[in-house]
Amino acid sequence: MIVRPGPNLVRAIGAVTLVSPATFFWWPVVVPLVAILIALAVASELDRRRLSDALANLSVSRSMPTVVGRDTQFHVSLTVANGNSSPLHGELRDEHPALAVPRLIVYALQIPSVGETTLSTAIRIPHRGRHEFGPVWIRILGPWRLLEAQRAIDCPGMVNVLPETFASREQLQKDVGAELRLLDHKQRTRQHGVGTEFESLYPYRHGDDPRRIDWRATARQRTLVVRRFQVERHRDVMIIIDSGRLMGTEAGRGSKLDCAIDAALNLSRVVLHSGDRCGVAAYDRCVRGFLPPISGTSALSSLVECVYDLQTQWHESDFTPMLSELRSRQAKRTFLIIISDLGDAETSQRLCASLHQLHRQHLVLFVALKTPQLGLAIQEPIVTPRDAARKAVAFRLLRDRGRALHTLSRGGVHVLDVEPRELTIPLVNQFVELRRRNLL
Residue 136 sits in a domain whose CATH number is 2.60.40.10
Average pLDDT on 190-199 reads 52
Question: Residue 17 pLDDT more than 80?
Answer: yes
Question: Residue 182 pLDDT more than 50?
Answer: no
Q: 179 and 210, same structural domain?
A: no
Between 130 and 189, the more confident residue is 130
pLDDT of residue 170: 58
Between 386 and 202, the more confident residue is 386
Average pLDDT on 164-189 reads 54
CA distance linking residue 138 with residue 56, whole number of Å? 11
pLDDT of residue 259: 92
Question: Residue 209 pLDDT more than 90?
Answer: no
pTM of the entire predicted model: 0.75
pLDDT of residue 141: 86
Q: Residue 138, class by beta-carbon neighbours within 10 Å (0-12 exposed, 13-18 middle, 19+ buried)?
A: buried
pLDDT of residue 207: 79
Least confident residue range of 168-172, 180-184, 408-412, 429-433: 180-184
Q: 181 and 41, same structural domain?
A: no
Q: 353 and 215, same structural domain?
A: no
Q: 116 and 254, same structural domain?
A: no
Q: 74 and 54, same structural domain?
A: yes
Task: Enumerate residues 6+ apart whose C-beta is below 8 A from 229.
Answer: 192, 193, 194, 195, 196, 197, 198, 199, 212
Average pLDDT on 342-358 reads 87
CATH number at residue 270: 3.40.50.410
Question: Residue 30 pLDDT more than 90?
Answer: no
Question: Residue 172 pLDDT more than 60?
Answer: no
Q: 141 and 210, same structural domain?
A: no
pLDDT digits (tens, 9 = 90+) for 219-266: 988 889 888 876 556 789 999 999 999 899 888 878 999 999 999 999
Percent above pLDDT 70 for the chain: 91
pLDDT of residue 193: 43
pLDDT of residue 185: 44
Task: Enumerate residues 6+ apart whose C-beta is below 8 A from 144.
Answer: 6, 8, 43, 46, 47
Q: 136 and 16, same structural domain?
A: yes
Question: Residue 5 pLDDT more than 90?
Answer: no
CA distance linking residue 374 with residue 395, whole number of Å? 8
Is-contact 141 89, C-beta < 8 A?
yes
Q: 238 and 214, same structural domain?
A: no
Question: Residue 359 pLDDT more than 60?
Answer: yes
pLDDT of residue 179: 52
pLDDT digits (tens, 9 = 90+) for 382-438: 888 888 998 898 888 888 889 999 999 999 999 999 999 889 989 999 998 888 887
Domain count of the chain? 3
Handedness of CA 27, 32, 33, 38 (dihedral sign): positive
pLDDT of residue 261: 94
Q: 403 and 294, same structural domain?
A: yes
CA distance linking residue 139 with residue 3, whole number of Å? 9
Q: 212 and 75, same structural domain?
A: no
The H or E element that residue 232 is part of is none
- Taking all residues of the chain, what is their mean pLDDT, rounded to a whole number? 86
pLDDT digits (tens, 9 = 90+) for 299-322: 899 999 999 999 998 899 999 999
pLDDT digits (tens, 9 = 90+) for 58-76: 889 999 999 998 888 999 9
pLDDT of residue 284: 93
Task: Enumerate residues 6+ apart whose C-beta is below 8 A from 14.
Answer: none
Q: 253 and 123, same structural domain?
A: no
pLDDT of residue 143: 83
Range of the domain at 108: 1-162
> What is 75-123 written as a DSSP string?
EEEEEEEE-SSS-EEEEEEEEPPTTSBSSEEEEEEEE-TTEEEEEEEEE
Q: 266 and 120, same structural domain?
A: no
pLDDT of residue 287: 95
Question: Residue 191 pLDDT more than 80?
Answer: no
Question: Residue 196 pLDDT more than 60?
Answer: no
